Amino acid sequence: MHGLFITLEGGEGAGKTTQCRKIKEFFESTGYEVVLTREPGGTPEAEKIRNLLVQRDGGNWTPTAECLLFFAARQMHVETLIKPAIAAGKVVISDRFTDSTIAYQGYGHGFDLDTIRQVEQIALAGFKPDLTFLLDLPVEDGLRRSLKQKDIAVGDESTEDRFEKLDKSFHEKLRQGFLTIARESPVRVKVIDASIDPDNVFAQIKIHLQEKMEKVGRNVI
Ligand SMILES: Nc1ncnc2c1ncn2[C@@H]1O[C@H](COP(=O)(O)OP(=O)(O)OP(=O)(O)O)[C@@H](O)[C@H]1O
Ligand SMILES: [Mg+2]
């Protein structure tokens, strides 16, 4: 029986990693085998490309080269990890996927959306997640969570400085970009209110998971 491919999307601090773990527990508790992975990366080759993309000394890439690197990593991830796991009946959960490239490089940094779609077609030939959860919350809330995670006290002057430097307008473009993606693919992408506590964020996700499993004819408690 075929597995399921689920992706989590959203800005920094939206709670993607937290909810990935909850989704994993949910499926495991009902007897499914789960593969938890992340992007960029997920396989040894793709993790090497991740280092080129996210490390400070990884290189000064042109937007086109950067886009190609993201999809080179993604192609390896899909072919060597995601598709084989799905074919083996497993549930694959990825912390970010193609929508992040469209949101960050496209809507955020202004790289041509059609070019990204063309590269996506060459690399993935129409391969998409079965279900995507967009964790949506006000930009300031997400940034505050990220800062808090980095052990910076919220509310003092230095934090306010750091806050401004994170460029709120970029994160606002990102948020609106993700919401546009969701509007364009309402069946695949479910917008989740991520501003509330983690258990209640997961309660929204669970409804969609149960609905999806019913559709594919599997029982989930
Ligand atoms: N619903 C929530 N309410 C409050 N705090 C939360 C919630 N979900 C996660 N957090 C906290 O916010 C921080 C960021 O959460 P998490 O790492 O899950 O987000 P993320 O989307 O994976 O972030 P990043 O993009 O940086 O990887 C963590 O400290 C986490 O404990
Ligand atoms: Mg994370």
CATH code, 119: 3.40.50.300
- What pLDDT score was predicted for residue 47? 96
- Asked whether residue 173 is assigned to any structural domain, the reply reads yes
Q: Read off the pLDDT of residues 85-143 as tens digits, 9 standing for 90 and up.
A: 999 999 999 999 999 999 999 999 999 999 999 999 999 999 999 999 999 999 999 98
- Asked whether residue 24 is assigned to any structural domain, the reply reads yes
* 160 has pLDDT over 60: no
Q: Does any ligand 1 atom lie closer than 6 A to the CB of residue 201?
A: yes
194 CA from centroid of ligand 1 (Å): 9
Q: Does any ligand 1 atom lie closer than 6 A to the CB of residue 64?
A: no
- Asked whether residue 221 is assigned to any structural domain, the reply reads no
- What pLDDT score was predicted for residue 218? 65
201 CA from centroid of ligand 2 (Å): 15
Mean pLDDT over residues 48-55, rounded? 93
Q: Among all ligands shown, which has an atom nearest to the Cα of 9?
A: 1
- Asked whether residue 220 is assigned to any structural domain, the reply reads no
Q: Does any ligand 1 atom lie closer than 6 A to the CB of residue 29?
A: no
Q: Does any ligand 1 atom lie closer than 6 A to the CB of residue 190?
A: no
Range of the domain at 57: 4-215
* 159 has pLDDT over 80: no
Which residue has the CA at smallest separation from atom 10 of ligand 1? 15
Work out how many domains the chain is built from and give that number.
Answer: 1
Mean pLDDT over residues 21-34, rounded? 95
Q: Does any ligand 1 atom lie closer than 6 A to the CB of residue 13?
A: yes
Q: Does any ligand 1 atom lie closer than 6 A to the CB of residue 142?
A: no
134 CA from centroid of ligand 2 (Å): 13
pTM of this prediction? Answer: 0.93
- What pLDDT score was predicted for residue 50? 95
Nearest ligand 1 atom, CA 135: 21
149 CA from centroid of ligand 1 (Å): 8
Nearest ligand 1 atom, CA 19: 18
Which residue has the CA at smallest separation from atom 9 of ligand 1? 15
In order, the DSSP letters of the chain are ---EEEEEE-STTSSHHHHHHHHHHHHHHTT--EEEEESS-SSHHHHHHHHHHHSTTS----HHHHHHHHHHHHHHHIIIIIHHHHHTT-EEEEES-HHHHIIIIIIIT---HHHHHHHHHHHHTT---SEEEEEE--HHHHHHHHHHHTT--SSSHHHHHHHHHT-HHHHHHHHHHHHHHHHH-TTTEEEEE-SS-HHHHHHHHHHHHHHHHHHTT----
Q: Among all ligands shown, which has an atom nearest to the Cα of 18?
A: 1
